[in-house]
Amino acid sequence: MINRQALYHMTRKGKVKYMSENNMRKNILSPSILAADFSGLGEQITEAARAGAEYLHIDVMDGVFVPSISFGMPVIESIRKITNIIFDVHLMIVAPERYVKEFARIGADSITFHLEAAEDADALIDQIHGLGCKAGMSIKPQTPVETVRKYLSKLDMLLVMTVEPGFGGQKYIPESTERIRQIRQMADEQGLNLDIQVDGGITQDNVKMVMDAGANVIVAGSSVFKGNIEENVKKLMAQF
C-alpha cells in the first residue's frame, strides 16, 4: 500500500507529485493573506507566487472560536479565479464539520481544523479526505502535544500554533520550539513523513530555528506582505 503522507505533496487541480525517497519532506512557504493589503489582494497573491511561494495560507475566523472575524467563502471563491497556488485553508471556527464541504467546493486544497473545535476529529479527517483535500489539524499553544499522537497517522499536516490564534502580528512564543521538536519525534517514531506547519510570529530571524526543530511548512504574514513581497519571499526561502 502506498503511504500517502510519505510519497506526495499536493499540486493544484488534484494532481499528485511523487517525490524521491531522498526528498520526501519538502520545505514550503505559505504566506498568510491575513497580513495582506486587501485593496490589492489579487496582485499581492500573484507577487508572492511569482517569487516562489507554493501555498497560500487562508485564516478563516468566526468571532466565536477566536475573538476576531476575518473573511469567508466569497473571498476565497473570488481569489481562486486568479491563481493556481495551493489554498491552505485554516479553519479557526466552531463546528468545522458543518463547513468543510463548501470550502472544498470553492477551491480549498488543504483544510486544517482545530482539535479543540472538533466534535469527532477522526470522522472529520475522513470527511476532508473524502472531499479530495489534504487534512490538517491544529493545536493552540496551551493544548498538550500528546493529544495529537493518536491522529498523526491519518493526517497530512499538523499545525503548531506559535502564537495565540485569532490575531496577526504577534510575537513567537519561545516554548513552541520544543513543542515542534516533540511532534516531529512522535511522527518519526511512527515512521511518518508528516508535514509540520508553524503559524505565528515567524520571521527571517527565527525561521531556521523552527525548521531545525522539525517544521517544514512555514506560515508567514507580516514577514511576507509588509514591504517588498518578492524580496521578502526570496529572503525567507533562501533559508530553506
Q: How far apart are CA 191 and CA 172, in angstroms?
A: 29
Structural domains in the chain plus CATH codes: 30-237 (3.20.20.70)
Which residues, given as ranges, of the chain have pLDDT below 70? 1-24, 168
User: Residue 172: its pLDDT value, please?
Assistant: 97
Catalytic residue among 59, 88, 109, 156: 59
**Selected catalytic residue, list 62, 88, 109, 199:** 199
Residue 195 designated active-site: no
pLDDT at site 17: 42
- pLDDT for the residue 12: 62
pLDDT for 1: 30
In this prediction, residue 179 carries a pLDDT of 98
Query: Which bin fits 166, alpha (ψ -120 to 50), beta or left (φ > 0)?
Result: left
What is this structure's pTM?
A: 0.91
- pLDDT at residue number 20: 37
